[in-house]
Structure 1
């Protein structure tokens, strides 16, 4: 992943193209395809294949926990982050008397369940200034009624990495009844997490972790298990799903395990198990050490071209994402794509994402095309 030879070996589809769109979709290594083939072979065995299926789930739970700094009992899976956040809403069971803080740099999956609740809580918006969320701006939003503060460790929108110590201290001091929920989708597998004290961690699986669609990781420390147990129906998360009293009561497993309400998406978890073990073997620290200087080169290059990134880059808060707005964004995006440089374009915004499989040549190629057009 980090050298020319390993990149060619593990990511042959990257040959001849510059892929700077991992914040939307990753390019999985070949071992992920091999894991999907292993799932298929187990599936062909019919019911007998479930032995392999459930073994893959537990292996994936083990490596996920290891990378999150949790125990396997504190980690579970569902199908996507949207499902996870709706299950979180079920666990919290908020009312009109409660308050939730969300940010304007968050992904909709984490911000909208509170707006759609049957008894919607008061939703308070923490707004960014110059692309950054400042803890002091959140203080007026916090009080004893605050039950949840929902943030992304790294914003999908502009790559801003939240100041975790300042956030954590502010919430614990000014909102003593609040839980902190952290979407780590744009961080997990790319930067070291370093968000101690988070009450629940949620991550999609098809971005920086190098997995595929159909999975989501949920991490809940054991001391929060009773507070964060869903009220959803189902079977896989029940202690007594097939016991004689199953039609009289439903006994839910506590905490993270309650978020796996139905049959696991085995294919996604075979893939995630292989992907996370690949990332762990390379190490997130090595990925960050390789890719962070490329982000700095890209940031400085954008500034030299008069393209202002949407938030400042702080070397002590690493991120894999840079974004800028431009009135000719459609034209810029088309020019990049025509030269096999793949980035995200949306509503005047161009977003570039740098992972461990990117190279200095990728960064220079993208900057050269932008310079030529501008």
Structure 2
């Protein structure tokens, strides 16, 4: 194996990786040791009164800045919501739906990306869930789009198969009929390039590839493509502040994406997110992508050599960090791999192995050797 198979982030930078091959970033990323100091910094800021609150805001602004950099956008286009599902709800409420309109989405999508639109059926919106197989060819999506399509919704990288979708092709497809392109980048952001300029909205969770925790989600709205998107709620944090309580007879929404934040963001998760983003930034998306594609390629080839039904494409530009094979006993395999010190993710008729910047050739080798032993058992 080449030198690129050495981890870009040392295992010692994480809690609990000393004796395991952690191939589960697509489910839960391991915890950075620096998160402990970061959390302590938050707690110290929390007892500092008003200066502490100002530092809360400064950390949130820095997180927005780092996220905007990953998306090729502006910090003013980034909101910190509770989770990706909340962002999908905002996008779904932002369209002026008419009976007979439709949304095009893959049937094999993550439930959040499906159900955000299913709830609109009562308004006469058709949800066109495309695909009889887990991997859906672009041609099937193209065939489903027509002049009544208002939204094309997709995960940049599939949680189920590891397929990385071509955002430029999907943008062209949406533009053909004037539809919105709503993208869930939960399995892409931070480890492969995500071009926010191609999207109307991008959402992402933060507890996987961004090395953060639950409680904060990314919501990016492209100000050039969807400048008039409004929040479906209002709260004190979303509006311009009026110092005189006597004058609070009405409100004016903030002009930037913080208008989508009805109240304070979850500052402790935001502190950890900013720390995770800083850590990833020290490596760089380009280096991380090259690393996971090379390491994932070795893993995929090894799985195929074992005769396993790999769902993830071989072409590097069609995958990211998730390498997946179909299995009707994935829960058993996950348990037995974990007992052997290899952490993976099961469910939905497949086993998912995810490679991140902290993984190396030894992790891949350990996983493949264990799977080979299990196959012979």
Q: With structure 1 as the length reference, what TM-score do the two structures score? A: 0.92
> Does the alignment pair 1:99 with 2:111?
no
2:153 aligns with 150
Query: How has the CA–CA distance of structure 1 residues 371 and 359 changed in structure 2, closer, same or farther, with 3 Å as cutoff?
Result: same
Please tell me whether the aligned partners of residues 15 and 31 of structure 2 are also in contact (alpha carbons under 8 angstroms): no
Cα offset for 1:195?
Answer: 5.9
Query: 56-65 or 316-325: which moved more?
Result: 316-325
1:285 aligns with 286
2:303 aligns with 302
Query: Deviation string for 1:9-30 (max 9, x for gaps)?
Result: 4125211101111001111322
Q: CA RMSD in A?
A: 2.2
2:130 aligns with 126
> Does the alignment pair 1:11 with 2:14?
yes
Mapped partners of 1:359, 1:146: distance in 2: 44
1:36 aligns with 39
Mapped partners of 1:2, 1:304: distance in 2: 19
SS class of match (1:67)? helix
Query: How has the CA–CA distance of structure 1 residues 236 and 300 changed in structure 2, closer, same or farther, with 3 Å as cutoff?
Result: same
Mapped partners of 1:181, 1:244: distance in 2: 41
Mapped partners of 1:105, 1:99: distance in 2: 18
1:165 aligns with 168
1:272 aligns with 273
> Does the alignment pair 1:141 with 2:172?
no
Show structure 1 runs of 5+ residues with no match.
none
> Does the alignment pair 1:82 with 2:85?
yes
Mapped partners of 2:132, 2:238: distance in 1: 38
Cα offset for 1:268?
Answer: 1.1
Mapped partners of 1:259, 1:222: distance in 2: 13
2:318 aligns with 317
Please tell me whether the aligned partners of residues 324 and 352 of structure 2 are also in contact (alpha carbons under 8 angstroms): yes
SS class of match (1:101)? strand
Q: With structure 2 as the length reference, what TM-score do the two structures score? A: 0.91
Query: Deviation string for 1:162-212 (max 9, x for gaps)?
Result: 122322222212x12x11011111001111224642111111111101111
Query: 361-370 or 282-291: which moved more?
Result: 282-291
Query: How has the CA–CA distance of structure 1 residues 241 and 132 changed in structure 2, closer, same or farther, with 3 Å as cutoff?
Result: farther
Question: Number of residues paired by the alignment?
Answer: 370
Query: 41-50 or 357-366: which moved more?
Result: 41-50
Cα offset for 1:148?
Answer: 1.0
Mapped partners of 2:89, 2:11: distance in 1: 40
Query: Deviation string for 1:292-342 (max 9, x for gaps)?
Result: 111111111111111011232212334100112223333322220111111
Cα offset for 1:85?
Answer: 1.2
Please tell me whether the aligned partners of residues 2 and 356 of structure 1 are also in contact (alpha carbons under 8 angstroms): no
